[in-house]
Structure 1
């Protein structure tokens, strides 16, 4: 007989917040000001984290939960870039050895940043990254730190939602970018526990819309890496939302929408100009839903999570022309 997975709770997220406080920033919520002076939404600036993305929260908490024997064996993970950097950085802070499996399609900027934090890098084709990480874990005893389908990782990412609920008294809507679903799972769990009337909307690139398809069908859907790799939002190219993440999304998310490639790039440029901090296309996906008119503001303040800022210079130049 199957049982429902145990969801992350507010006390889980509060424990995570206390645990990661010394390593992760409490990032600001800042206005996006349009040329006409209007403020259509506010942005949770996770691109200001030491590794340039929210992923540091979940990685830091997952590594903090390891016992002494596990720390001695080291950690291994797989990622297209932002989780890779997060695990490498968190492992370095904790004095733990880290090996990261990275797909050969990952931006060189993110690969080199991961290497700078001291991790050993293994590069493989995108479809092989999980199997390779699992093989390394089996052969070396290293602890696998999943990018999203994990209770500790979800609790760590949930500290973003905890902060938003505390920082914005008149919060009305929170928009969250989605790939594997760690950020939206934790954020939605925290927001709904503290502010049940707040609307939580998950946002995906249209070209990586496995969650949107599953949401419409009422069942989790899996897309191929070849499909999701088409999007310019390279941080959102995983093949599917995780199993545990799907359960959280069903429990706590109010709606799922998608945005086009053109809308993502337009939002990237508008955030840099209007909020005056750097985001990568993945980090602009949530805001794009409002800026393109896909999600209309309702009562209260609308906040979009700007999830990361590890953008290649040529991409940034392209959107600022």
Structure 2
């Protein structure tokens, strides 16, 4: 299990390489949900998502031989962007493996940063290719099954604990579980009375199915939300969520896209569906907790183009 000392060490390591993002009350979301809402604006992070933290923490922990070999990572979008940009800043050669369903903009940014991008038919195939490249000598930077990466993502929770006002319930998106594992570990240490809730989209339910099965299981992927589409969680992230998280809620893709539009209208932030899913889930948390709820949201990323959101809105009949 990741401890608070691991997360504090990661915060020291990545200071100067990442942004301490704002944690602010949201009057618009508070009015929309009927309870106080505080948002951690991690979409203002370098590379547009929290992933820069874990990538920086891992890259800065590598020995000279590991750096010289070059690094490889699998990504549905944001991890690849983060690794490519942070590796370029630290003069490390990076290879990013993405499924063809990954956002075209993510591929462009990773390539623009100097990374070699390899595309596969699906996420499972991406993990297989990355494993072969690891066997050929590249240094893996796993998006979530790595205690150093999790500790880096946990710095989001460390900052939230220090900067937020009085909150009772914090919502965190779940793909492979690295972010929620780190955030939950930080909050358990710094704010032990706060409940942490995970949120997934239908067709990307690796953590909720793992919880139902008693451990990680492979899951079929069909969600439009490629940035949450892990083919399975790891034992490391599962153990953190099973031990530290109140529940993992599952939201339809349509509601995640509606959440993107509502966040733009009411919170004045431009997010992606991996963040948009938090808003419908927050309504369910408020129903379960009651009017005494004081909600925190980790606004984890904003790497969706206007064209992406327009296409999704049209697909689901949203205006």
Given the two structures, how large is their TM-score scaled by the length of structure 1?
Answer: 0.90
The CA distance in 2 between the partners of 1:247 and 1:35, in whole Å, is 32
1:86 aligns with 2:82: yes
Q: Tell me the CA shift for residue 29 of structure 1.
A: 2.1
The CA distance in 1 between the partners of 2:87 and 2:11, in whole Å, is 18
Listed one character per residue, the Cα deviations across residues 142-165 of structure 1 (whole Å, up to 9, x for unaligned) are: 210001010001000000111111
Give the 5 Å matches for 1:89-104: 89-104=85-100
Q: Tell me the CA shift for residue 34 of structure 1.
A: 4.8
Q: Are the counterparts in 1 of residues 13 and 57 from structure 2 also a CA contact under 8 Å? A: yes
The CA distance in 1 between the partners of 2:90 and 2:156, in whole Å, is 22
Q: Tell me the CA shift for residue 315 of structure 1.
A: 2.9
1:48 to 37, 44, 67: 44
1:60/1:165 CA distance change after superposition, 3 Å: same
The CA distance in 2 between the partners of 1:297 and 1:311, in whole Å, is 31
The CA distance in 1 between the partners of 2:30 and 2:158, in whole Å, is 31
Give the 5 Å matches for 1:256-275: 256-275=248-267
Q: Tell me the CA shift for residue 250 of structure 1.
A: 1.5
Q: Are the counterparts in 2 of residues 56 and 87 from structure 1 also a CA contact under 8 Å? A: yes
The residue that corresponds to 2:63 in the other structure is 67
The residue that corresponds to 2:244 in the other structure is 252
Count of residue pairs brought into register by the alignment: 310
Given the two structures, how large is their TM-score scaled by the length of structure 2?
Answer: 0.91
Q: What secondary structure, in the 3-state scheme, does the structure 2 residue paired with 1:208 have?
A: coil
**Coordinate RMSD, CA, aligned:** 2.0
Moved more, 147-156 or 273-282: 273-282
Moved more, 179-188 or 257-266: 257-266
1:132 aligns with 2:125: no
Q: What secondary structure, in the 3-state scheme, does the structure 2 residue paired with 1:19 have?
A: helix
The CA distance in 2 between the partners of 1:48 and 1:203, in whole Å, is 21
1:191 aligns with 2:187: yes
Q: Tell me the CA shift for residue 277 of structure 1.
A: 1.7
The residue that corresponds to 1:222 in the other structure is 218
The CA distance in 1 between the partners of 2:125 and 2:240, in whole Å, is 27
The CA distance in 2 between the partners of 1:214 and 1:130, in whole Å, is 19
Q: What secondary structure, in the 3-state scheme, does the structure 2 residue paired with 1:71 have?
A: helix
Unaligned runs of 5+ in 1: 1-6
Unaligned runs of 5+ in 2: none
The residue that corresponds to 1:28 in the other structure is 22
